[in-house]
Structure 1
Amino acid sequence: MEDYIVRATAANNQIRAFAATTREMVETAREHHNTSPVATAALGRLLSAGAMMGSMMKNDTDMLTLQIRGDGPLGGITVTADSKANVKGYVNNPDVLLPAKNGKLDVGGAVGIGLLQVIKDMGLKEPYSGQTILVSSEIAEDLTYYFANSEQVPSSVGLGVLMNKNNTVRRAGGFIIQLMPFAQEETIARLEENLKNITSVTELLDRGYTPQQLLEELLAGLDLEITDTVPTRFYCNCSKERVEKAIVSVGKKEIQKMIDDGEEIEVKCHFCNAAYKYSVDELKEIIKRSK
């Protein structure tokens, strides 16, 4: 099944909601980065959130970056998304192995104490940047806290990644539900009641729930209206030309050293792990072009 996001409103526009199924995306990320189960779960949760938050942006050129920096063994997670819900991302230490906690992958332990930063580049002079502390390091709660504190939008975020025994991704997805400023008390009370009944996103996904059905459950009795469906995927736009810019940024001195070594070099893209090779002659050309 292809990954997609469902966008919806409820309670006569007092609520806006997003739900996604992202198994393919998270499995693609796992294959690219060869992540351990706990690293896959952490990265998968942030990729799923990034896809939904990317789809909230208006313009084709808008870009979103989500960065988690913690003192846990993962080191950090970076995800970027565009307004078409193309996402890519990586964890600093993909090999982290931790014992399970309460029968589940210990994402909070892998991330540790730290900060969540959200950067939105919407073509203005300066990108918008919001930063909050990690309240649980489980990612969904941290984003709920971010929305309430940095964007002043009361929200509920649920994210989940379920692994197979062979460490491939079995299920992945999540939801973001947001209250508009004019939401009435009875709407809020009903939503809170519905949210109490949802124990785990992964459990519902594993029972075969689609994003539509997730929202039907979360927004029961609130006149759910699906507005549209958006495809989402793991997509990296790196190329040999783009990676060349990274080589140029190290400076001519360093490039000259590489040339003097007389060996071709290999540069990997952080986001998708694709490897690009540059011969000595190509490095000489790069120096010429950067003059």
Structure 2
Amino acid sequence: MKDYIVRAIAADGQIRAFAATTKNMVEEARTRHNMSPIATTALGRLMTGGAMMGTMMKSDADVLTIQIKGNGPIGQMTVTADAKGRVKGFVANPEVMLPLKDGKLDVAGAVGIGVLSVIKDIGLKEPYVGDTILITSEIADDLTYYFATSEQVPSSVGLGVLMNKDNTVHEAGGFIIQLMPDATEELIDKLEQRIKEITSVTEMLEQGMTPEEILNHILGDMNLEILDTVPTEFYCNCSKDRVSKAVMSIGAEELQKMIDDDKPIEVNCHFCNSHYTFTVEELKQMLEAVRR
């Protein structure tokens, strides 16, 4: 089954909701970065949240970046998403391993204490940046807190990644449910109670529930209306041409040093782990272009 995001409203527009299935996207990230189960789970949650948040943006040219900088052994995590559901991401230490905590992967222990930053590049002179502290370092709660404090939108975020014993991804997905400004007190109380009754996203994923079924499970008696579905995927827009421009940006002096070494150089993309090799001849051509 292909990954996709469902966008919906409920309670006659007083609620907007998103749900996603992201197994293939998270598995591709795991393979590309050769990640441990705990790194896959942490990044998978953040990528799933980022994918849904990306589809909230207005223009196809808008770009959303989420960074988590914690003091845990996983190091910094970065996810970038666009309005078309295309997502990429990486962690500083993809091979991190920790003992299980209460029989589960200790994502909070891997992330540690720190800050969550959401950067929205929406075509203005300066991007919008919202910083919040990590509340639990479990990622879903931290995004919930971000929405409440930075965007003043009461939200509930649920994210889950289930791993197989062979370290491949079994299931991944999540939901974001948000109250609109005109939501009544009665509806707010009802939704809060419903959210409390949800056991966990991973349990719903384990039951094989689709994004539509997840939203129906939570909002089915609140006049749920599915608006559309958006495909989502791991996608990196790097290319040899883009990378060569990045190399050229270091300037003529540094390029000359590389040429003097008389060896090809290899440049890796952080996001997708693709490798690009440039021969000495190519470096000479780049130097000529810089000097023009």
Q: Take 1:210 and 1:125, find their aligned partners in 2: how far apart are those partners?
A: 40
How many angstroms apart in 1 are the aligned matches of 2:88 and 2:179?
A: 28
Corresponding position of 1:194: 194
Shift of 1:79: 0.5
Secondary structure of the structure 2 residue equivalent to 1:32: helix
| 2:111 partner amino acid | V
SS at 2:49's partner residue?
A: helix
Q: Shift in Å at residue 260 of structure 1?
A: 1.1
* Cα offset, 1:189, TM superposition: 1.3
Q: Distance in 2 between matches of 1:290 and 1:103?
A: 56
Measured in 1, the distance between the counterparts of 2:62 and 2:111 equals 28
- Who is 1:225 aligned against? 225
**TM-score using structure 2 length:** 0.98
After TM superposition, give the deviation of residue 130 of structure 1 in Å. 0.5
Q: CA deviation at 1:194?
A: 1.2
Amino acid at match of 1:263: K
CA distance in 2, matches of 1:68, 1:169: 22
Give the 3-state SS of the residue equivalent to 2:32 in structure 1.
Answer: helix
Deviation at 1:98, TM superposition (A): 0.6
Greater Cα shift, 190-199 or 272-281? 190-199
Structure 1 residue 101 displacement after superposition: 1.0
Cα contact 1:187–1:222 (8 A) shared by 2:
no
| Aligned positions of 1:238-277 closer than 5 A | 238-277=238-277
* Structure 1 stretches of at least 4 aligned residues deviating more than 6 Å after TM superposition: none
- Report the counterpart of residue 208 of structure 2 in structure 1: 208
Secondary structure of 1:108's aligned partner:
helix
Q: How does 1:92-241 map to 2 (within 5 A)?
A: 92-241=92-241
Other-structure match for 1:42 = 42
Tell me by how many angstroms 1:254 deviates.
2.1
Corresponding residue of 2:30: 30
Q: CA deviation at 1:287?
A: 1.1
- Whichever residue aligns with residue 9 of structure 1, its letter is I
Equivalent-residue separation in structure 1 for 2:104 and 2:255 (angstroms): 46
CA contact (8 A) 1:194 1:217 kept: no
How many Å apart are 1:192 and its aligned residue?
1.2
Residue 125 of structure 1, CA deviation: 1.4
CA offsets 1:87-123 (integer angstroms, 9 cap, x no match): 0010011010011111111111111111000011111
C-alpha displacement at 1:277, in angstroms?
0.3
Query: Per the alignment, in what secondary structure is the counterpart of residue 102 of structure 2?
Result: coil
Structure 1's unaligned 5+ residue stretches are none
TM-score scaled by structure 1?
0.98
The 5-angstrom pairing of residues 6-85 of structure 1 reads 6-85=6-85
Report the alpha carbon displacement of residue 124 of structure 1 after superposing the two structures with TM: 1.1
Structure 2 SS opposite 1:199: coil
In structure 2, distance between residues paired with 1:88 and 1:56: 17
Residues in 2 aligned to 1:38 and 1:254: alpha-carbon distance in whole angstroms = 38
Pairwise CA distance, 1:253: 2.3
Distance in 1, matches of 2:136 and 2:150, equals 17
Task: Give a deviation string over 1:128-180, Cα, whole Å, max 9, x none.
Answer: 11010011111000000000000000000000101000000000000000000
Write out per-residue CA displacement over residues 16-51 of structure 1, whole angstroms, 9 at most, x where no aligned residue: 000000000000000100011100001100110111
Q: Quick one: which amino acid aligns to residue 269 of structure 1?
A: C
SS of the aligned residue for 1:117 comes to: strand
Unpaired stretches in structure 2, ≥5 consecutive residues = none
Q: Which amino acid aligns with 1:158?
A: G
Computed over aligned residues only, the root mean square deviation of the Cα atoms, in angstroms, reads: 0.8
Task: Give the match for residue 5 of structure 2.
Answer: 5
Distance 2:189 2:221 in 1: 12
After TM superposition, give the deviation of residue 290 of structure 1 in Å.
1.6
Deviation for aligned residue 1:221: 1.9
CA contact (8 A) 1:74 1:111 kept: yes
The superposition leaves residues 50-108 of structure 1 with CA deviations (integer Å, 9 ceiling, x where unpaired) of: 11000011111000000011110111100001100100010011010011111111111
Tell me the CA shift for residue 182 of structure 1: 0.9
Letter of the 1:136 partner, please give it: T
Alignment check: 8 A CA contact 2:251 2:290 kept: no
In the TM superposition, what is the alpha-carbon distance from 1:196 to its structure 2 partner?
Answer: 1.3
Q: Match for 1:235: what amino acid? A: Y
Residue 208 of structure 2: SS of its match in structure 1?
coil
Equivalent pairs, count: 291
